Amino acid sequence: MFAGLPKKSDTPTKAGFVVSKKTHKRAVKRNRLKRLMRESYRILLKENDLGCSQKFMSLVFVGSEQALDKDFKTMYNIIKSLLRGIKC
């Protein structure tokens, strides 16, 4: 994950989800991983459990080959730990 520059206004934080073609050649696999990451982030946003991540302009989540076989609960915990790891 990459956190961008700190925000100076009240604009909402933008989140991007990227899975490279090098990760897997099948678009179905890449899209599934992006959907899992997006849904995990959406639920955390709804629960307002994003920690200090909302102090940045943008967040970019990059999916890796190891994450292809993860289920939703595992992906949710990974995204949650990444967001909690952001320093204020």
One digit per residue, pLDDT tens: the chain, 88 residues? 677 778 877 888 899 999 999 999 999 999 999 999 999 999 999 999 888 888 888 899 999 999 999 999 999 999 999 999 888 7
Q: How far apart are CA 6 and CA 47, in angstroms?
A: 22
The token duo for 13 is: 């934080």
Domains annotated for the chain, with CATH where assigned, are 2-84 (3.30.230.10)
| 2-3, strands of its sheet edge to edge | 2-3, 58-63, 14-19
Structure confidence by residue, pLDDT tens digits, 34-46: 999 999 999 999 9
The DSSP bridge pattern shows strands 58-63 and 14-19 to be: parallel
Quickly list H helices, 1-88.
27-46, 72-84
